[in-house]
């Protein structure tokens, strides 16, 4: 993801789940006295719910023109890299471009498009127990 | 703090009129003639007032549970079936639901709180039955709330006459 969208990488000891009906939300985590919704992009990006993890990438969204930080479960192997982004062939997809890192192609995600795509792929609420398993 | 299935919830004590065991309600329960909402099938009368009985697990879309207690709410004609009353607790902070939540939970909850390092949702007493749901119940079961004090098994005709 573009650096501007990422606030920090955190390790949170616990994900708290409660009933709700919003697609992709697996629960919330507590960070410095603030509550962050945890968005699982797995259904759209990888085709499956993300495996259980204690690492979260904190990203900033703009919902109704107001900023809000959210947490995305990741496996912990995050890295800040610099490179020239080549635009994606399909501008309508959630991959907006690619970075070439020593021959390795890294997709660059458009967070909001990825959320919309994931929600469309999982257009029903995810029981918290399922998301946590 | 109360629980339904595996989840815990808070509700402010000031919004609860009474807590009863489901076993003790017995003869005060009246079936709805037309249960337009799957979560509401009965009315219960307490102290000359009547309340729609809302199934907690159906309201929150959680797995089937075994309610043993009923929260009779103040200011709204609602009694909520819950599995257990967990404890009384002091809520020091009420945080808004993150805007990422955009489903029915925005009606269900006043917000979130932190208790013993756990994040818990705080139920909104007015969220168990919205004004629209109350109107539908009343439209399909006219006058039932007022007539619910009559014996179990009383026919609709008898209740309407009453």
Beta bridge partners of B81: B55, B70
- Tens of pLDDT, residues B46-92: 888 899 999 999 999 999 889 999 999 999 999 999 999 999 999 99
Going by their DSSP bridges, the two strands B78-82 and B49-55 should be labelled as: parallel
**pLDDT mean over A24-44:** 90
d(CA A39, CA A24): 5
Is B94 an interface residue toward A (CB < 8 Å)? no
Mutate to test the interface with B, among A15, A17, A19 (most CBs of B within 10 A): A19
Q: Do B120 and A21 touch (CB under 8 A)?
A: no
- Which helix (DSSP H) or strand (DSSP E) does residue B99 occupy? none
C-beta neighbour count of B67 within 10 angstroms: 16
Query: Which of B9, B104, B114 is facing A30, going by the closest CB pair?
Result: B114
B100 interfacial to chain A (CB closer than 8 Å): yes
Instruction: Choose among B125, B122, B106: nearest CA to B114.
Output: B122
pLDDT at B146: 66
Q: What is the dihedral of CA B107, B108, B110, B115, to 10 degrees?
A: -160
User: Confidence class of residue A129 from pLDDT cuts 50, 70 and 90?
Assistant: very low
Q: Do B102 and A18 touch (CB under 8 A)?
A: no
Res B84: pLDDT: 96
Q: Say what the pLDDT of residue B151 is.
A: 42
ipTM: 0.85
- For B104-132, the three-class secondary structure string (H helix, E strand, C coil) is CHHHHEEEEEEECCEEEEEECHHHCCCHH
pLDDT at residue A2 tops 80 = yes
Q: Do A28 and B104 count as a contact with CB atoms less than 8 A apart?
A: no
Give the per-residue pLDDT at B26.
74
Q: Indicate if the pLDDT at residue B15 is higher than 80.
A: yes
Give SS3 for A74: strand
Q: What is the pLDDT of residues B28-50, one digit of tens each?
A: 888 998 889 999 999 998 888 89
Return the residue in B58, B64, B92, B99 with the most chain A beta carbons within 10 A, the one to mutate for interface testing.
Answer: B99
Tens-place pLDDT, residues B86-119: 999 999 999 999 999 999 999 999 999 999 989 9
List all residues of chain B from 129 to 158 with a beta carbon under 8 Å from chain A.
Answer: none
Residues of A with CB under 8 A from a CB of B: 14, 16-22, 25, 28, 30, 34-37, 39, 61, 63-64, 66, 68, 70, 125, 128-129
**Structural domains of chain A sorted by starting position, each given as residue range(s) with its CATH number in brackets:** 3-125 (2.40.50.180)
Q: For residues A77 and A67, which has the higher predicted lDDT (pLDDT)? A: A67
The predicted pLDDT at position A108 comes to 92
B-chain residues within 8 Å CB-CB of A126? none
pLDDT at B48: 84
> Hey, are the CB atoms on A125 and B100 less than 8 Å from each other?
no
Q: How far apart are the first and last CA of chain B?
A: 39
């Amino acid at each position: 993801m573009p650096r501007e969208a990422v606030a920090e990488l955190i390790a949170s000891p616990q994900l708290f789940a409660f009933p709700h009906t919003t697609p992709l939300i697996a629960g919330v985590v507590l960070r410095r006295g603030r509550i962050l919704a945890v968005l699982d992009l797995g259904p759209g990006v990888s085709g499956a719910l993300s495996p259980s993890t204690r690492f979260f990438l904190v990203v900033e969204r703009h919902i109704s023109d107001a900023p809000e930080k959210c947490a995305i479960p990741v496996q912990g192997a995050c890295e800040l890299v610099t490179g020239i982004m080549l635009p994606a062939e399909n501008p309508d997809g959630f991959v907006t471009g690619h970075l070439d890192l020593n021959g390795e192609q890294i997709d660059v995600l458009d967070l909001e498009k990825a959320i919309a795509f994931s929600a469309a792929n999982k257009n029903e609420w995810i029981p918290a127990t399922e998301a946590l398993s | 703090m109360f629980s339904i299935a595996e989840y815990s919830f808070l509700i402010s004590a000031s919004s609860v009129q009474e807590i009863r065991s489901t076993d003790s309600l017995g003869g005060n329960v009246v079936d709805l003639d037309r249960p337009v909402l799957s979560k509401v099938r009965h009315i219960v009368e307490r102290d000359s007032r009547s309340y729609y009985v809302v199934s907690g697990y159906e309201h929150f879309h959680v797995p089937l549970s075994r309610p043993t207690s009923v929260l009779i709410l103040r200011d709204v004609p609602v009694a909520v079936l819950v599995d257990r009353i967990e404890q009384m607790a002091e809520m020091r902070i009420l945080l808004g639901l993150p805007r990422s939540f955009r489903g029915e939970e925005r009606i269900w909850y006043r917000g979130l709180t932190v208790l013993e390092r756990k994040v818990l949702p705080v139920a909104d007493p007015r969220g168990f039955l919205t004004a629209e749901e109350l109107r539908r119940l009343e439209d399909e079961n006219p006058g039932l709330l007022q007539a619910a004090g009559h014996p179990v098994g009383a026919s609709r005709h008898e209740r309407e006459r009453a």
